Amino acid sequence: MPGFGMKLQDREGSISETLFTFDKQTCYPVRMKEVGYSIDSPEEKIFIDQRYYDLDFNLNIEDTVCFNTSTASLMGFEIIDMQPF
- Mind listing the pLDDT tens digit for each residue in 22-76? 988 888 889 999 999 999 998 999 999 999 988 777 777 777 877 767 766 666 7
Rounded Cα distance between 40 and 17, Å, is 16
Chain centroid, CA 66 distance in Å: 27
Radius of gyration of the chain (CA): 20
The better pLDDT of the pair 85, 52 is held by 52
Rounded Cα distance between 30 and 51, Å, is 6
The better pLDDT of the pair 77, 16 is held by 16
What pLDDT score does 49 carry?
95
